Amino acid sequence: MSRHRFEELLRYLHLNDNNQRIPHNQPGYDRLFKIRPLIDMARRTFRVSYMLQQHQSIDEGMIKYKGRYSIKQYMPNKPIKRRMKVWMRCDSVSGFCHDFRIYLGRFDEFRGVGLGAKVVKHLTRDIKGKNFHIVMDNFFSSVNLFRTLKQNGIQATGTIKKNAVFLPECVRTPNPKLQRGDSVARQHGDLVATAWQDTKQVTNICSSHNNYI
């Protein structure tokens, strides 16, 4: 097939009706409008195609992309440096993706302070009250988020930054300093915060254990 023939066919290949697109800079404008039906179909299919396991994880995924697009991210320290970022909730056994959300960067409604917590709440809105257990890293974790998830009937475990709000001081900076293999933990209600010393201190928080101490 010649290039011109391919481009001619491509002109008429659409996933959405361009006449229904909201103009740029107008309320409701969707930067993913052209592929929105495909995104929605994939999310619906993922949710019905696999039986949920109790333990799941939330993290970012990368879609390698070198073209020009306003939502593309550039992170020089990542293996895939130029890509589009996708927030994903995946099964802990198979890695199967149950839900996802494409991140729009500076155009995303979740951008700014509390981005990680907003993403977690969004990706867990369909599993409230079902006693699922979500695992995440310190980009997402916070004491307030874990309390909210617990209220929604969702257990959670994750690493957390040492300077996170509401962490006990003895967990932030144990005194005396921990030796490798040692740990210190404090509990408040259903939340347990733990500092464990490896080559460096690892701090985590968990809401899935009662009467830990």
What's the confidence (pLDDT) of residue 209?
66
Number of domains in the chain: 1
The answer to whether residue 204 is domain-embedded is: no
Least confident segment among 61-70, 87-96, 154-163: 61-70
Which position has the token pair 């997402």? Answer: 140
Instruction: Note the pLDDT of residue 210.
Output: 57
* Residue 111 DSSP SS3: coil
Instruction: Indicate whether 197 belongs to any domain.
Output: no
Residue 171 lies in a domain: no
- Output the pLDDT for position 103: 93
For residue range 146-166, what is the model confidence (pLDDT) as tens digits?
Answer: 999 999 999 999 999 999 999
pLDDT of the residue at 77: 79
Please state the length of the chain: 213
Strand 183-188 and strand 201-206: the pairing is unpaired
Average pLDDT value for residue range 111-130: 93
* Whole-structure pTM value: 0.86
Q: Which residues are within 8 A (CB) of 153 and not within 5 positions of it... i.e. 6 or more apart?
A: 128, 129, 130, 131
The residue among 163, 174, 167, 168 whose CA lies nearest residue 196 is 174
Percent of the chain past pLDDT 70, that is, above it, reads 98
The token duo for 65 is 């992309």
Residue 155 included in any domain: yes
DSSP 107: G
Cα-flanking dihedrals φ and ψ of residue 30, to 5°? Answer: -115, 115
Element (H or E) spanning 44, and its range? helix 36-48
Question: Is 16 within a domain?
Answer: yes
Residue 25 lies in a domain: yes
Rounded average pLDDT over 41-70: 88
166: in domain = no
Burial of 76-98, coded b for 16+ CB within 10 Å and e otherwise, reads eeeeeeebbbebbbbbeeeeebb
What domain range is 117 assigned to? 3-159
pLDDT of residue 182: 92
Domain of residue 98, CATH code: 3.30.420
Say how far apart CA 189 and CA 192 lie, in whole Å: 8
For residue 147, what are its two tokens?
A: 């309390």
User: Would you say residue 10 has pLDDT above 70?
Assistant: yes
What's the whole-number mean pLDDT along residues 66-95? 84
What integer is the mean pLDDT of 80-91?
A: 89
Residue 50 lies in a domain: yes
